Amino acid sequence: MKGVPLAGEARRRERGIALLVVLWACTLLAILLGGFATLVRTESIQTRYLSGRVQLRYLAEAGAMRALAECVSKSGGRWIGDARPYTLRFEGHDIDIRVQDELGKVDLNTAEPQLLQRLFLAAGVDEAAAAKLAANIQEARDARAKFFREEGARRYAEAGLEAGPRYREFDMPEQLQTVLGVTPALYRKLAPAITVWSRRPQPVAALAPPLVLASLPDMDMARAQRYVAQRAMLSSRSPPPVLPNGQLPGGWRGGQVKTIVASATDGQGTTARVLVTFKLTVLRGGLGYSVLRWQEDGAG
């Protein structure tokens, strides 16, 4: 008779254990479902973000194509290559488009050392460092300087750079980053102001961006920005007659190589950017172009 209560007690204990197992199983299932729901929500957010980025990228590319169409039109286009903003709006998105003629920039291969030094000064580099940077660029682009290759390689190695000076002309503006002393932050400042396609010792001031204008004699950034603002208000084919320093700005006709920077922005502040450098070519019955550089979210 004494075994009966023990059996009942054992059954109750078993039921209690089973209940705990069920509760733990429900808890684990709830955790798994919660994690799965969070994962689905995260993937949904990522999908919407990526979809929005793709849409913005194609809008930026459409802006670049619109500028290309303007530049190759038979009339020569209405848009001026001095980097003034042109704005399009499409389905709630703003597209900012700027056309910069490469003649308005400082050519890394042909600019005089004094101009390079003033450009670095305008970018905020101190005078001693600006002189060294200008000398390093002159060394890097000069094939004759390779006779001092061993000494150049040693200086670069001491700075932690595996490759020494180029000892040949720059093929792309981005190669400025290989020059001793040029940091990523400094390159980002200089990118809109440098070129390898103008082949001129001096930039055309009428087409120059603010940093280039600030590097001219008797100019600074404040004067350069005032001139740019005045220039952007003119829609005719004649720039302001003189610069603040009294220098003649030259004409707006421009050259064959231009860079388009197109940026598309949504309502949340997300931006996609496309940079296209192209060269105009003469075709039978009109103009064509060949792309020299195409970058997404690049500097310039």
137-183 residue pLDDT tens: 999 999 988 778 888 889 999 988 888 899 999 999 999 999 999 99
Which pLDDT value is given to residue 1?
Answer: 46
Which pLDDT value is given to residue 46?
Answer: 65
Strand, helix or coil for residue 173:
helix
Regions of the chain short of the pLDDT cut 70: 1-8, 10-15, 40, 43-52, 74-77, 236-237, 298-300
Q: How far apart are CA 72 and CA 83, in angstroms?
A: 17
Residues 6+ apart with CB under 8 A from 215: 106, 115, 118, 119, 121, 122, 193
